[in-house]
A and B are shown apart, each in its own frame.
Chain A
């Protein structure tokens, strides 16, 4: 049952990821990206990482994608402004990505992952809030605090960049 669910979610994630890249309309891209994030959350639930699954839905599908959707609608992008990419550069980029895939698969197919299959004394509480909180607030306390400085910097940066210059025309 779980393996069938794994294959289904994998198929759906790869398909919607491809649709993100190949959709003509940016709004469709955003919606397919949200679908990809939901399938990835399904993967996290299968992996017994409930906290990451919830955060993925709240932060990515909830906050970040709403921001994307808002910007897409704000800019009012016409889908008829087609991208004129030369066929040569398309072929070159697809070849480059394909070669990257070949190199990565060739490097990873024989890799020895060690003894990763779970044993009898399995700890199923790894992905729960309690365990993650203990690690986050002891071992990673400094990075956690630094993240707040990062958010402050990002907030100030976004406000500064989005501010209208004095004398600029009201374009939107």
Chain B
């Protein structure tokens, strides 16, 4: 069968470094921002960096298990987003703000 052109011209290492960069951008967002929604979006960025790496390894190795895993990660991310956004809305109702700095009085 036909080999996809990108696999002949782009080495797998490039995907590795691209995913690393995307993941680090997500970490940067979690660390620098104080808006709970933007922090949440940065977590999504990190999840997608991992998804891309799983999909690229799966394609290069011709193993569909990696892509099934991506599918499961997307399902879990969807569930996580619904609950997380509900929590953010609840925080906003109680504090009139979604600044995570206001939550440092929480006792664990």
Contact = CB atoms under 8 A, between A and B. Distances in A.
Interface of A: 1-3, 5-6, 10, 13-14, 17-18, 20-21, 23, 26, 29-30, 33, 36-37, 40, 43-44, 46-49, 51-52, 55-56, 59-60, 63-64, 67-68, 71-72, 74-75, 77, 81, 83, 85, 90, 93-94, 96-98, 100-101, 104-105, 108-109, 111, 113, 116-118, 122-127, 131-132, 135-136, 139-140, 143, 147, 150-151, 153-155, 157-158, 161-162, 168, 171
B88 to A, nearest CB: 7
What are the 9 A-B residue pairs with the smallest beta carbon separation, nearest first? A93-B31, A2-B5, A154-B79, A161-B86, A21-B29, A3-B9, A97-B28, A124-B1, A47-B59
Interface of chain B, main secondary structure: helix
Contacts of B78: 59, 63-64, 151, 154
A33 B87 contact: no
Contact of A47 (B32, B45, B55): B55
B107 interface: no
B83 A49 contact: no
B51 A108 contact: no
* Most B-side CB within 10 Å, residue of A52, A59, A63, A125: A52
Given A36-B45, A116-B12, A59 B74 contact: yes
Contacts of A75: 37, 88-89, 92, 98
B79 A150 contact: yes
Interface of B: 1-14, 16-18, 20-29, 31-35, 37-38, 40-42, 44-45, 48, 51-52, 55-65, 67-68, 70-72, 74-83, 85-90, 92-93, 97-99
Nearest to A154: B79
